[in-house]
Amino acid sequence: MSLLDETKRLLRYYKIIPKKRLGQNFLVDEEILHKMVCYASVSSSDTVLEVGAGFGFLTERLAENAGRVIAVEIDDRLVKALKKRLKTYGNITILHGDVMKISVPHFNKVVSTPPYSISSPLQFWLLNR
């Protein structure tokens, strides 16, 4: 099943209509996900922060390479889906909330597709950590 088909299936299953105010969109290109992980040179010594984990497609790929993944998602509906989909991964920590307002453990890399609306504040937050 393609990521697009899987996304549609999950949206229906969890009865989710993406929230425009949260800038929700879902990356469904397998090649781009692969390139993101490769370009970031994610290895088992890395703790990777992902902001806006969505359904966890990038999270899964990161977990296959990273020592630990900290996946942050603000939407409680998606957190529920993430916890169910990724429960077999022992190296993923799912945090529910606004990444800039919650306590986030130490990380050494960020690989993410955050909503455009938070990109500037997120960059400043990251630089000040």
Could you tell me the domains of the chain?
3-127 (3.40.50.150)
> Which string of DSSP letters, residue by residue, matches 10-61?
HHHHTT----GGGT------HHHHHHHHHHTT--TT-EEEEES-TTSHHHHH
- Predicted TM-score (pTM) of the model is 0.92
Q: How far apart are CA 17 and CA 10, in angstroms?
A: 11
Instruction: Give me the tens of pLDDT residue by residue for the chain, a chain 129 residues long.
Output: 899 999 999 999 999 988 777 677 888 899 999 999 999 999 999 999 999 999 999 999 999 999 999 999 999 999 999 999 999 999 999 999 999 999 999 999 999 998 888 889 999 999 998
**pLDDT 10s digits, 89-112:** 999 999 999 999 999 999 999 999
User: Which two tokens mark 8?
Assistant: 């549609």
Compute the C-alpha angle 55/59/61, nearest 5°: 120
In which element (H, E) is residue 59 found?
Answer: helix 57-63
